[in-house]
A = this chain, B = another copy of it.
Amino acid sequence: MVVALVKTLSLKEFLEIPETKPASEYIHNQIVQKPMPKGRHIRLQVRLCQEINLKVEEPKTAYAFPELRCNFNDHSIVPDIAVFLWEHIPFLADGEIPDNFNIAPDWIIEILSPDQNANKVIGKILHSIQHGSKLGWLLDADDQSVLVFRPNQQLVLMTNSDRLPVLENIFLELTVNDIFNWLKMS
Q: Please report A residues at the B interface, Cβ cutoff 8 Å.
A: 28, 112, 117-120, 122-123, 126, 129, 138, 140, 142-143, 145-147, 149, 151-157, 159
CB-based contact B155/A138 at 8 Å? no
Closest to A144 in B: B119
Compute how far the CA of A156 lies from the CA of B118 in the bound complex, rounded to whole angstroms: 14
Give chain B residues whose Cβ lies under 8 Å from the Cβ of A146: 119
Max count, chain B CB within 10 A of own CB: residue among A118, A155, A156: A118
Closest to A127 in B: B157
CB-based contact A157/B123 at 8 Å? yes
Compute how far the CA of A141 lies from the CA of B153 in the bound complex, rounded to whole angstroms: 27
With contacts A123-B145, A145-B123 taken as known, whether A140 is within 8 angstroms of B118 at the C-beta atoms is yes
Give chain B residues whose Cβ lies under 8 Å from the Cβ of A155: 122, 126, 149, 155
CB-based contact B149/A120 at 8 Å? no
Compute how far the CA of A117 lies from the CA of B145 in the bound complex, rounded to whole angstroms: 10
Compute how far the CA of A119 lies from the CA of B119 in the bound complex, rounded to whole angstroms: 11
Instruction: List, sorted by A's number, 27 A–B pairs whose CB atoms are closer than 8 Å.
Output: A112-B119, A117-B140, A117-B142, A117-B143, A118-B140, A118-B143, A119-B138, A119-B143, A119-B146, A119-B147, A120-B143, A120-B145, A122-B147, A122-B155, A123-B143, A123-B145, A123-B157, A123-B159, A126-B154, A126-B155, A126-B157, A129-B154, A149-B155, A151-B154, A152-B154, A153-B154, A155-B155
Question: From residue A25, how far is it (CB to closest CB) to chain B in Å?
Answer: 14
Closest to A157 in B: B123
Question: From residue A31, how far is it (CB to closest CB) to chain B in Å?
Answer: 15
Give chain B residues whose Cβ lies under 8 Å from the Cβ of A152: 154
Closest to A112 in B: B118
